[in-house]
Amino acid sequence: MISALLLAACGGLVKSPSSESSAERPPPAAHAPAPRWVRAQGTGLVDESGAAVHLAGVVASNEIWGRWIWPRSDELAKRGDDPLIRDRVQPDWVLGEADFARLGALPINVARYEISHELFADDNPARRDNAAKLQEHVRRFAALGIGVIVDLNMPIGLDGQSDNVERKKPGSLRERSLFEDDELFAATIRTWTFVAEQLSSEPTLVAYEIWNEPRAPSDADGGVARFQSRSEQMARALRAVDPRHLVLVPEYHSREANPGESYPAPNGQGSIVDRGEQGIRWDRGLVKVSVENVGYVFHHYEPWSFTAEGAADFAPTDVAGMVLEHVRWRDEVGRAPLVVTEYGINRRQPLSKRVAWLTLVHDLLVQHDIGGLYFNYKAAVGPWNQPGDMMALYGQFIARNEVGSGGGSSYALRSDAAAAAEQSGFTKLFAQWFENLGPNETSLLDNESVVDELRRFAERRR
């Protein structure tokens, strides 16, 4: 069971539904200027004056995993491929004026800004306009006292979204990753080089996070050694065009099995011995790169059974174990800063348990001087989304006018959306938090206490 001490730390009651114009906005944060020219110094971070920098922030995911676009998405799904199509221009709704106002009111000094390869690909005619918008957004964040970590969350080839379907295929049929394919890797270097050339003079750009939750290939395709060498090559390519900014190197978040190794069965029932199909092992590991001014990244959702799958409770040792493993690696091997660029918990847990878990994570990050960014700021909600899976602070029913009509209590979903909403649980979420909100408005839902805990974390990091 969660200790009484942890539960007592949660504080606050679940508040009544709130709207864009009332309680959904947290009180303004007292922001210092955004950190400038952040760099690694030993296992910590400092700014241009040499003062210590302690990162406390949120993730702006920007919905970069793509959208279902008929009929192409239907055709992809029928083939067993990833049906979501990445945008080539960032949708305006993901980060507009109201979003900057809300983010500026949060108690943060850094935002993780997620991008996709498609936005800056060689063949995208909008790539320079996209780069100009990215640069403008870095400056908008700076004016709010917030630095930016730019993260290539959706690289070319296998990525975190396409892996949802690709992991079910044998390696010979699976989409290749940039660690397996030379052309994909070369395209990634070109994309990152282009982005870095646009941002190299921005003092409040905190770092480049070179990729997100990568998978190390099997030994047949180079293994962890290939992952390490390509991480180092990427860091060096960035350093060649930008000598000043911090480069963040993530750990591999999983790896392909080698023949004779066991891996979890895709159906969750037991394990399978690999016979060359390159099943997926959920091993993780940091690799050291020999490049100046780097830091290392891991994500923290431990234990996953509690933060994502709805297990009744967690053991504090399960939360701390992963952090302590990474701290030992930092102090004995990496000798460079650590940043947790994602941590969070979904709505399958009641508010009190969510805050209890966050409090324990924050205690660990403060104790071991690790920067932390909460996942995430905002997410689209809708009939086909599972409300329990949502980790975001704010929800936005962006498709309200597309899947239904009417206003207030007279709003009605079209028949297919209504059926999906009943099955997913969105009907209840809508009635509680979104009934009186338009598609351009957001709800903080019951997350006031989560924001309060983020504020306590930020204050302890100052």
The secondary element (H helix, E strand) that includes residue 416 is helix 415-424
Give yes or no for a cis peptide into 83 (omega within 30° of 0): no
Q: Report which residue type is found at 415.
A: S
C-alpha triplet 178, 179, 181: angle, nearest 5°: 60
Range of the domain at 227: 29-387+447-461
Question: What is the per-residue pLDDT for 28?
Answer: 57
415 belongs to a structural domain: no
351 belongs to a structural domain: yes
The secondary element (H helix, E strand) that includes residue 395 is strand 394-396
47 belongs to a structural domain: yes
Asked whether the CA dihedral 100, 101, 102, 103 is positive or negative, the reply is positive
Phi and psi of 226, rounded to 5°? -65, -40
- pLDDT tens per residue across all 462 residues of the chain: 333 323 333 333 233 333 443 345 555 566 799 999 999 999 999 999 999 999 999 999 999 999 989 899 999 999 999 999 999 999 999 999 999 999 999 999 999 999 999 999 999 999 999 999 999 999 999 999 999 999 999 999 999 999 999 999 999 999 999 999 999 999 999 999 999 999 999 999 999 999 999 999 999 999 999 999 999 999 999 999 999 999 999 999 999 999 999 999 988 899 999 999 999 999 999 999 999 999 999 999 999 999 999 999 999 999 999 999 999 999 999 999 999 999 999 999 999 999 999 999 999 999 999 999 999 999 999 999 999 999 999 999 999 999 999 988 899 999 999 999 999 999 999 999 999 999 999 999 999 999 999 999 999 988
Q: Compute the distance between CA of residue 344 and CA of residue 361 in angstroms, rounded to an integer.
A: 9
Six-digit token string for 129: 């306009």
Q: Report which residue type is found at 148.
A: V
Q: Report which residue type is found at 198.
A: Q
Residue 75: give its domain's CATH number.
3.20.20.80
| Tally of helices (H runs) and strands (E runs) in the chain | 14, 22
Question: What is the per-residue pLDDT for 462?
Answer: 83
Nearest C-alpha neighbor of 7 from the set 357, 430, 245: 357
334 belongs to a structural domain: yes
Q: Compute the distance between CA of residue 297 and CA of residue 291 in angstroms, rounded to an integer.
A: 15
User: What is the DSSP pairing of strand 246-250 with strand 294-300?
Assistant: parallel
DSSP string, 350-404: -HHHHHHHHHHHHHHHHHTT-EEEES-SEEE--TTS-GGG---SEEE-TTHHHHE
- Angle between helical axes of 182-199 and 127-143 (0-180°, round to 10): 50
pTM of the model: 0.93
Q: Compute the distance between CA of residue 188 and CA of residue 196 in angstroms, rounded to an integer.
A: 12
Is the distance from CB of 396 to CB of 378 less than 8 angstroms? Answer: yes
106 belongs to a structural domain: yes
Q: Other CB atoms closer than 10 Å to residue 247's CB: what's the count? A: 25
Q: Report which residue type is found at 451.
A: V
Question: What is the per-residue pLDDT for 70?
Answer: 87
Name, in order, each residue with C-beta under 8 angstroms of 447's C-beta and a sequence gap of 6 or more.
393, 394
Question: Structural domain tally of the chain?
Answer: 1
Question: What is the per-residue pLDDT for 85?
Answer: 96
Nearest C-alpha neighbor of 106 from the set 448, 336, 348, 462: 448
428 belongs to a structural domain: no
55 belongs to a structural domain: yes
Q: Which residues pair with 147 in a beta bridge?
A: 110
What one-character DSSP code corresponds to residue 173? T
The secondary element (H helix, E strand) that includes residue 29 is none
Angstrom CA distances, 183 to 54, 68, 159, 225, 394, stand at: 38, 27, 16, 18, 38
Q: Which residues pair with 307 in a beta bridge?
A: none
431 belongs to a structural domain: no
C-alpha triplet 242, 341, 314: angle, nearest 5°: 165
